[in-house]
Structure 1
Amino acid sequence: MITVRVNGVARQYEGDPNMPLLWFIRDEVGLTGTKFGCGSGLCGSCTVHLDGKAVRACVTPVSAAKDQEVTTIEGLAKDGDHPLQTAWAKHNVPQCGYCQAGQIMQAAALLQINTQPTDQDIIDGMSGNICRCGTYQRIRDAIKTAAKEMAS
């Protein structure tokens, strides 16, 4: 039996320990904000936090999360009002929106280690997350806005 804390709630899992964390989150826990994109850990749509660090849930086995805290987009802020989420809306970041949960989770991990990132820091820190709509400038602007809000 594997115990994983998802957004603060302990969850038990008795299935295949090699199943991707993504499918545990979506199918076993029922949280669908984390998206399947490429299945190879290359696009970032499935990004979640594992003990505060950004990981690709599609290539992370559920066994790797044993006795750890997983935070999904649903757990980032109780009411969806994390500074990144409000900045995303303010800057009209999403177009199709598919990658946005992963983008926000990657940005949150970035801001945990760098509270005042430069443009280059943001480019480097977000480089593994692909936005097929090309909203990269709005993503950078939203991250800067969130960083300022979080600093005040």
Structure 2
Amino acid sequence: MKITKIKVENFRLLKDFSIDVENKLSLIIGKNNTGKTSLLAVIEKFLTEKSNFSIHDFNLDEQEKLKALEKKEGISIPEDFKFSIYLLFEIKYDDTDNLRNLSSLILNLESENTVVLGFEYYLNPIQFKYLIDDFVEFKSE
């Protein structure tokens, strides 16, 4: 069993990011401030209990939407409200793999031996108020 693809949306510098993981070794190399640490951070935030999300974790474009909302008098929840962060793993398996931990996720045994695990952090309208409060506090720093 092996992770073959990782996809991230709306997390820090990773607006719409995906990487194909190679069979033996995959290196993540790049200049400073290009998202290398963000990739590891989003995986940690979704897979460990000690981490939680904050306004700083949303992509800058999403933060700009909040700024635009904050400039309006009497902030209200927009009709198309959706602020979310996604993490997706594509996992390939073969007949020799023990699928005990993934068996409940496999819908079709005649598929291409692929399971997709997706994680999403999203703000519901109630959380939106707390996000705006955090944003206003962040802006005043």
Q: Normalization by structure 1: what TM-score? A: 0.31
- State the structure with bigger RCO (CA 8 A, min sep 6), 1 or 2: 2
Higher strand share: 2
Q: Normalization by structure 2: what TM-score? A: 0.32
- Asked which structure has the greater CA Rg, the reply is 2
